[in-house]
Chain A
Amino acid sequence: MQVSMTVNGSEVSGDVEPRTLLVHFIRENLRLTGTHVGCETSYCGACTIHVDGTPVKSCTMLAVQANGANITTVEGLADGDNLHPVQEGFWERHGLQCGFCTPGMIMSASALLAENDNPSEDEIRHGIEGNLCRCTGYHNIVRSIEYAAAKMRGEEPAPPDWTQDFEGATA
Chain B
Amino acid sequence: MTTTSTSAMGGIVRRKEDPALIAGKGRYVDDIKLNGEAAAVFVRSPFAHAKINSIDTSAATAMDGVLAVYTAEDTRHLGDLLAQVAVGSLRPLLADGAVHHAGEAVAMVVAENAYIAKDAADAVMVDYDPLPAVVDMKDAVKDEIKAHEDAESNVLLTWYSHDWWPGVFELEDHRPAIAAAKERDDVVVVSQEMTNQRLIPVAIEPRAVLADYNSGYGRVNVWSSSQIPHALAGAIAKTFGMTSHDVHVVAPEVGGGFGAKLNVYPDEMLVVFASKELSRPVRWTETRREAAYSTIQGRGWVGTATITGTKDGEILGYELDAIADMGAYSQNFTVAIPVLGLYVAQGQYNVPLAWQITCVHTNTQTTDAYRGAGRPEAIYYVERIIDMYAAAIGMDPADVRKKNFFKKDEFPATTAIGLTMDSGNYEYNLDTLLEDVDYDGLRKMQKDARDEGRYIGIGLSTYVEVCGFAPSVLAEFGFGWDAYGLPTSFSGSGLVRVNPDGSATVIIGTGPSGQGHQTTWAQVVSERLGIPVDAIRVTHGDTFESPTGVGTFGSRSAAVDGAATYEAAEKVRMKAAELVAHMLEASAEDIQFADGGAHVAGSPGHTVTWAEIAEVAYKPHKGPEGLEAGLEAHAVFSPGNATWPFGSHLAVVEVDPGTGDVKILRYVAVDDCGNRINPMIVDGQIHGGIAQGVGQALFEEAIYDENGNLLTGSLVDYPLPTAGDLPAFELGWTNTPTDVNPMGVKGIGEAGTIGSAQTIVNAVVDAVRPLGVTHIDMPLRPRKVWDAIQKARG
A residues less than 8 Å from B23 (CB atoms): 34, 74-75, 78, 83, 87
Q: Does B2 contact A (CB under 8 A)?
A: yes
- A39-B715 contact in complex given A100-B255, A140-B684, A171-B734, C-beta closer than 8 Å: yes
Task: Establish whether residues B204 and A138, one from each chain, have CB atoms under 8 Å apart when the complex forms.
Answer: no
Whether A137 lies near B2 (C-beta < 8 A) is: no
B579 interface residue (CB < 8 Å to A): no
Query: Cα distance A136–B205 when bound, in Å?
Result: 14
How many Å from the CB of A72 to the closest CB on chain B?
Answer: 11
Asked if A97 contacts B12 (CB within 8 A), the reply is no
Query: From residue B53, how far is it (CB to closest CB) to chain A in Å?
Result: 33
Given contacts A38-B288, A138-B691, contact A83 B31 (CB under 8 A): no
| In the complex, residue of chain B having the shortest beta-carbon distance to the beta carbon of A100 | B255
Contacts of B731 in A (CB 8 A): 162-163
Residues 421-440 of chain B, each 1 if its beta carbon lies under 8 Å from chain A, else 0: 00001001000000000000
Residues of A within 8 A of B27 (CB): 33
CB contact under 8 A between A137 and B714, given known A44-B204, A96-B21, A171-B428: no
Query: What are the residues of chain A within 8 A of B724 when measuring CB–CB?
Result: 125-126, 129
Q: Are A165 and B24 in contact (CB under 8 A)?
A: no
**How far is it, in angstroms, between the C-alpha of A1 and the C-alpha of B690 when the chains are bound?**
48
**Chain A: number of interface residues, binned into ranges:** 35 or more
Measured CA separation A138–B714 after assembly (Å): 21
Chain A residues with Cβ below 8 Å from B733 are: 163, 166, 169
Chain B residues positioned under 8 Å from A101 (CB to CB): 204, 255
Residues A133 and B425 in contact, CB atoms below 8 Å apart = no
Given contacts A32-B24, A162-B12, contact A121 B254 (CB under 8 A): no
Q: Would you call A132 an interface residue if the criterion is a C-beta within 8 Å of the partner chain's C-beta atoms?
A: yes
A128 at the binding interface (Cβ < 8 Å): yes
Closest to B14 in A: A91
Q: Contact between A171 and B720 (Cβ–Cβ < 8 Å)? A: no
Name the prevailing secondary structure of the B interface residues.
loop
Q: Is B3 an interface residue (CB 8 A)?
A: yes
Interfacial residues of chain B within 1-32, with CB under 8 A of chain A in the complex: 1-3, 10, 12, 14-15, 17-19, 21-28, 30-31
Known: A97-B684, A99-B26. A91 touches B715 (CB 8 A): no
Within 8 A of A (CB), among B712-747: 714-716, 720-724, 726, 728-729, 731-737
The answer on a CB contact under 8 Å between B734 and A98 is no
Within 8 A of A (CB), among B142-175: none
B242-260, CB < 8 A from A: 253-258
Chain A residues, Cβ within 8 Å of B61: none
- A132 CB to nearest B CB, Å: 5
**B54 interface residue per 8 A CB criterion:** no
A134–B720 CB distance below 8 A: yes
Within 8 A of A (CB), among B240-295: 253-258, 287-289
Tell me which residues across on chain A come within 8 A of B752, comparing CB atoms: 137
Chain A residue with Cβ nearest B18: A91
Q: Which residues of B contact A19 (CB under 8 A)?
A: 115
Chain A residues with CB under 8 Å of B720's CB are 132, 134
A9 at the interface (CB under 8 A from B): no
Stretch at the interface among B485-493, B509-517, B626-634: B509-517
Closest B residue to A124 by beta carbon equals B723
Instruction: Please indicate the chain B residues that have their CB under 8 angstroms from the CB of A93 in the complex.
Output: 3
Q: How far is the CA of A6 from the CA of B691 in the complex (A)?
A: 38
- With contacts A98-B253, A134-B688, A135-B688 taken as known, whether A46 is within 8 angstroms of B714 at the C-beta atoms is no
Minimum CB distance partner of B685 in chain A: A97
Bound-complex Cα distance A78 to B19 (A)? 11
Interchain CB contact under 8 A, A129 and B18: no
Q: Does A58 sit within 8 A of B, measured CB to CB?
A: no
Q: Decide yes or no whether B692 CB sits under 8 A from chain A.
A: yes
Q: Which residue of A lies closest to B689 (CB)?
A: A137
Chain A residues 117 to 171 lying within 8 A of chain B, measured CB to CB, are 121, 124-126, 128-129, 131-142, 159-160, 162-166, 169-171
Count, A-B residue pairs, CB within 8 A: 210
Residues of B within 8 A of A129 (CB): 722-724
Contact assessment for B514 and A97 in the assembled complex, using a CB-CB cutoff below 8 Å: yes
Report B-chain residues with C-beta under 8 Å of the C-beta of A136: 684, 687-688, 691
Which residues of chain B from 496 to 549 have a CB within 8 Å of any chain A CB? 513-516
In the assembled complex, the CB of B320 is this many whole angstroms from the nearest CB of chain A, namely 29
Q: Does any Cβ of B come within 8 Å of A106's Cβ?
A: yes
B726 touches A138 (CB 8 A): yes
Quote the shortest CB–CB distance from B190 to chain A (angstroms): 32
Residues of B within 8 A of A35 (CB): 24
B606 at the A interface (CB under 8 A) = no
**Which of B10, B256, B258 has the most chain A CB within a 10 Å cutoff?**
B256
The complex places the Cα of A23 from the Cα of B96 at a distance, in Å, of: 37
Q: Once the chains bind, are B288 and A40 in contact (CB under 8 Å)?
A: yes
Q: Is B2 a contact partner of A160 (Cβ separation < 8 A)? A: yes
B683/A163 in contact, CB under 8 A: yes
Tell yes or no: B418 within 8 A of A by CB.
Answer: no
Q: Contact: A134 with B680, CB < 8 Å?
A: no
B726 partner residues in chain A, CB cutoff 8 A: 125, 137-139
Q: How far is the CB of A42 from chain B (nearest CB, A)?
A: 9
| 15 A-B contact pairs sorted by A residue (CB < 8 Å) | A33-B27, A34-B24, A37-B206, A39-B288, A44-B288, A74-B24, A75-B24, A91-B15, A97-B514, A124-B723, A134-B204, A135-B688, A137-B721, A138-B687, A139-B726
Contacts from A to B (Cβ < 8 Å): 17, 19, 27, 31-41, 43-44, 46, 73-75, 78, 83, 87, 90-94, 96-103, 106, 121, 124-126, 128-129, 131-142, 159-160, 162-166, 169-171
Given A38-B288, A134-B688, A160-B680, list of 5 further CB < 8 A pairs?
Answer: A33-B24, A41-B716, A97-B684, A99-B18, A138-B721
8 tightest Cβ-Cβ pairs between the two chains A and B: A34-B24, A100-B255, A98-B514, A99-B21, A137-B691, A97-B514, A74-B24, A137-B687
